[in-house]
Amino acid sequence: MAKPMSWKWKLAIAALCGILFLSGFIFTPSGHKWMKDRIVNAYNELPESERRNSELADSWINLAHFRGRVCLDTETAMQMYKEFMGYDYGKAQNGEEYARQILSNKLKGMCSPDGKTGWGPAHPKAPDVFMEYIDMYQPTHSSQFIKKECASYFRLFYTWHINYSGTRKPHPLFNKYWPKLREIGARSSLEWPPDIILMPPVPDYKEPTPAP
């Protein structure tokens, strides 16, 4: 007669099954929603003044990256990126509507409508997030739509930032990506919108030297 399995082995097998279940669960839409909801709930529980500098921003960006690059669900990932940037206006609205919302300072997503609290275009990593968004957007969209998205980068991190961030300057990382996005936009026959200033090429962006 076989010897009964010890409680230690039962516990180990149960733990292994749990790990395998969770490993598969995180790849599913339900698993993604569960993880995203946990971040949103933690974000909402923070005082508004603490949201922008919270480490939850990295959790959100990493989850979006995982969903897009590992799970290959780029639509969900791009939506998360747009929410992060305060650029979440829904699929039904076009580039012109985006422009009116941004320029009238009526942001939507994971920031206040005026962009003063939460993440949004004033977050230090927002231009990096936008570039990741564009990298996912390009393969499935025509050049004219890509150009409209590049214009929104200008509006968020140049026009909006000068007018509404309180610094009266473009985002510190604006020049890191604008030359590349301007070049991408130039491949389209579509004219740039009138509110986009075609500045001369800017010097290559260089990471700031840490203070000694």
Reported as a single tens digit per residue, the pLDDT across 18-50 is 443 445 557 688 888 989 999 999 999 999 999
Residue 52, pLDDT > 90, answer yes
pLDDT for res 188: 86
Does the pTM exceed 0.85?
A: no
Higher pLDDT, 9 or 63: 63
DSSP the chain: -PPPPPHHHHHHHHHHHHHHHHHHHTTSHHHHHHHHHHHHHHHHHS-HHHHTT-THHHHHHHHHHIIIIIS--HHHHHHHHHHHTTB---TT--HHHHHHHHHTT--BSSB-TTSSSBSGGGSTTHHHHHHHHHHHHGGGS-HHHHHHHHHHHHIIIIIIHHHHSSSSS--TTHHHHHHHHHHHHHTSSSPPPTT---PPPPPPP-PPPPP-
Q: Is the pLDDT of residue 2 over 90?
A: no
C-alpha distances in Å from residue 64, one per residue of 123, 181, 192 = 16, 21, 30
Cα 159 to Cα 211: distance, rounded to the nearest angstrom: 29
Listed in sequence order, the residues at least 6 apart from 89 whose beta carbon sits closer than 8 Å to its beta carbon are 82, 97, 98, 101, 108
Closest by alpha carbon to 202, among 181, 186, 184, 188?
181
Provide the token pair at 97. 């509507």
Q: Which amino acid is at 173?
A: L
* All structural domains of the chain with their residue ranges: 30-43+53-186
Each residue's pLDDT tens digit, 139-186: 999 888 899 899 999 999 999 999 999 999 999 999 999 999 999 998
Q: Tokens 């989850």 map to which residue?
A: 63
Percent of the chain whose pLDDT exceeds 70:
78
**Choice between 6 and 121, residue whose per-residue pLDDT is larger:** 121
Structure confidence at residue 19 (pLDDT): 44
pLDDT value at 208 more than 70: no
The predicted structure's pLDDT at residue 1: 47
Q: Please count the other Cβ atoms lying within 10 Å of the Cβ belonging to residue 163.
A: 11
Q: What's the one-letter identity of residue 169? A: K
Q: Is the pLDDT of residue 209 over 80?
A: no
Residue 10 has pLDDT above 80, yes or no: no
CA distance 61 to 71: 14
* Mean pLDDT computed over 113-125: 94
* Res. 80: pLDDT tops 50: yes
Q: Would you say how long the chain is, in residues?
A: 212
